Amino acid sequence: MAAQILSGKEISDAIKREVAAEVADLSEVHRFSPCLAVVRVGEDPASAVYVGSKVRTADEMGIISEHLHFSADTSEEKIIEIVESLNGRNDVDGILVQLPLPNHINERNILERIDPEKDVDGFNPINAGLLAQGYPALAPCTPAGVIEILKRSNIQIAGRHAVIVGRSNIVGKPMAMLLLKENATVTICHSRTADLASITKQADILVAAIGRAGFIRDEHIGDGATVIDVGINNFSEIEAVDDLFPVEQAEKRVAAIKNRGATLVGDVNPKEAMARAGHFTPVPGGVGLLTVAMLMKNTVQAARQRRLQ
């Protein structure tokens, strides 16, 4: 029996409708609209696409957006100056600095300068610390989106064993904190974990966030587990398509590789996950769609906390 697909689009669309309604209420009742400022440095093509998506979505939600784009040779001091100026503006509720930054800019130095109350990406150490201690905080958008998928799909979290493969500050660690907050028993695995499959196979909820295309396979997945694929990887090996994708997808994936040079695949082998798991988030069409929706939700949350409390 094939796994049930958890549609990121349906859940993302529902969150966006809720956010748009809340923004309309803030505008009508409290006479202001939340404002999101996005800082991009350099000409990374993927960053340009991501920022464009965030700005468009903000506009659709009724959120005021500012896109501040700087050349790749802009100094770290200049970006810190820009962040500090946004911190000081009362009309700006959320600040997002698009990663990655050029090599000469220390990402940590930038992220630590963002006012925690405006840190809608949830990367500032203050928010990370609040999250780790179980206090209310602006949480990183991707793991927060995973929680929304689980809850809105009526998948029980409390009392279940959740295994996370990946320990990044952006996904793995905050994912663990959010699952603990929902009373799951949490195990974090990583590149040094011995006999990985013996641990991941115990998971009721398996979250893959390691950045390795199709790495999680049949031997890693317990029967009926909920498998959440956070990975987004470009895959261009036509000869390996049949190994990764079900028959009904293979032809389309080959066409994508021929036309665009690559197709998207997550950290999980979708063909084997579909045959073993109980629930599965596809790539594309899964967790990735929630990231932007949760950014909008965080922006509204930040605005409410700053202006109304």
Catalytic residues: 54, 98, 121
CA torsion through residues 195, 198, 201, 205, sign: negative
DSSP string for 5-69: E--HHHHHHHHHHHHHHHHHHHHHHHS---EEEEEEES--HHHHHHHHHHHHHHHHHT-EEEEEE
Chain-centre distance for alpha carbon 207 = 12
Residues 6+ apart with CB under 8 A from 136: 130
What is the amino acid identity at position 167?
R
How far is Cα 258 from Cα 197, in angstroms, rounded to an integer? 34
Q: Is 282 helix (H, G, I), strand (E, B) or coil?
A: coil
Q: What is the dihedral of CA 217, 223, 180, 212, to 10 degrees?
A: 10
